Amino acid sequence: MITATRPHGLLRSTRTVTTIALAILLTIGTGACATTTPAVPSYAAATHGDPEFENTFQHEFADVDGVRMHYVTGGSGSPVVLIHGWPQTWYGWWPIMPALAEHHTVYAVDLPGLGDSTGAPTGYDKATLARYVHALIADRLGVRDARVVGHDFGAAVAFEYAAQFPTDTARLGYLDLPLPGPAIDARTYRSLSWHIAFHSQPRVPEAVVGDHVREYLAMFYPQVSFGGTAFGGTSQRSPFTDAEIDEYARTYSRPEALVGGFELYRALDTDVRDTAAAAPTPVPTLLMTAQGQLDAVRATVAARLTNIARAVDVPHAGHWLVEENPQFVTAELEHFLD
């Protein structure tokens, strides 16, 4: 019987080749795995993995007059444009967007220079910002029958949208903002609250807030909540979750966005002049305010919003109407928008 023997050198060579081949396969496999899990963009982090968002909504960008505007859109039906105030972004509408999207095409916009919109607008006065929003909604997206809803300074932007482009505005939602204008001049407006006077100062709020954006926002939100110190109460309860505060802090921690947010307040003198010059708008309007604030706010808007079809204050809500009573706000909007 003849027994074949394999030289020891050949065995070592075979082991070496096998080791190299395995290493190559492992490298290829690792690379393949890495390419299948791309990093989530910062603008999508708050909504990543949320089926309610991902099944209906999407993040979009559009260039408008030197500004890259970010907006979230979804749903089907008559168009609804949602405009945030300070210190929020499009995300402030998220608690009610899924319900609105059942019957409407929703466009939740980040104002120029704020949120994940980048680039500096030519001004932070509300008439200028309304022209940016209109250029996005009407000119870029072709929506000429928008139901425009704004909260806080976003309400002033929504008013200017309707005043400047009444034929492109089907309905107007005006949420919780004394309107700067003939009924309340800029000096008086700054005296309404410490934060309005503080934010109106040049460079000072940026220097104070600086690297403490999240802490500042976390302390500010409860003050203008239901029962907070701005309404004569003592409550320290915040209607915002830690995740929501994190999302707003992420965007306002950008130095440009922090400046832009305060510029909303520094534009009050221009806002007063623009409101005084604006023609009264006959667009059907829904007025909603914090509990107990309806008469005071209505007195500042009545001369310019001449067709207030419905006016209500929101029960058990301070300034954050959407967060503090989303069911009530949703029901009012659905009834009015339909």
Q: What pLDDT does 113 receive?
A: 97
pTM of the model: 0.89
Q: List pLDDT tens digits, range 23-72.
A: 444 444 444 444 556 799 999 999 999 999 999 999 999 999 999 999 99
Q: What percent of the chain has pLDDT over 70?
A: 89
Q: List pLDDT tens digits, range 75-104.
A: 999 999 999 999 999 999 999 999 999 999
Exposure b/e, 25-42, CB count within 10 A at least 16 = b: eeeeeeeeeeeeeeeeee
Q: What pLDDT does 36 receive?
A: 57
Q: What percent of the chain has pLDDT over 90?
A: 88
Phi and psi for 241 in degrees, rounded to 5?
-75, 165
Strand partners, 289: 313
The arithmetic mean of pLDDT across residues 3-11, rounded, is: 41
Q: What pLDDT does 338 receive?
A: 83
Q: What pLDDT does 11 receive?
A: 38
Catalytic residues: 152, 265, 319
DSSP-derived letter for residue 116 is: T
Burial of 135 (0-12, 13-18, 19+ CB in 10 A): middle
Rg (CA), the chain: 26
Q: What pLDDT does 28 receive?
A: 42
DSSP string, 273-305: HHHHHSPPB-S-EEEEEETT-HHHHHHHHTTTB
Q: What pLDDT does 12 receive?
A: 44
Q: What pLDDT does 38 receive?
A: 76
DSSP-derived letter for residue 227 is: T
Q: What pLDDT does 37 receive?
A: 62
In the predicted structure, residue 1 carries a pLDDT above the cut 70:
no
Q: List pLDDT tens digits, range 250-294.
A: 999 999 999 999 999 999 999 999 999 999 999 999 999 999 999
d(CA 145, CA 280): 19
Q: List pLDDT tens digits, range 173-216.
A: 999 999 999 999 999 999 999 999 999 999 999 999 999 999 99
User: What is the C-alpha end-to-end distance of the chain, expressed in Å?
Assistant: 96
In the predicted structure, residue 300 carries a pLDDT above the cut 90:
yes
- What token pair was written down for 58? 């999407």
- What token pair was written down for 49? 């993995």
d(CA 91, CA 66): 23
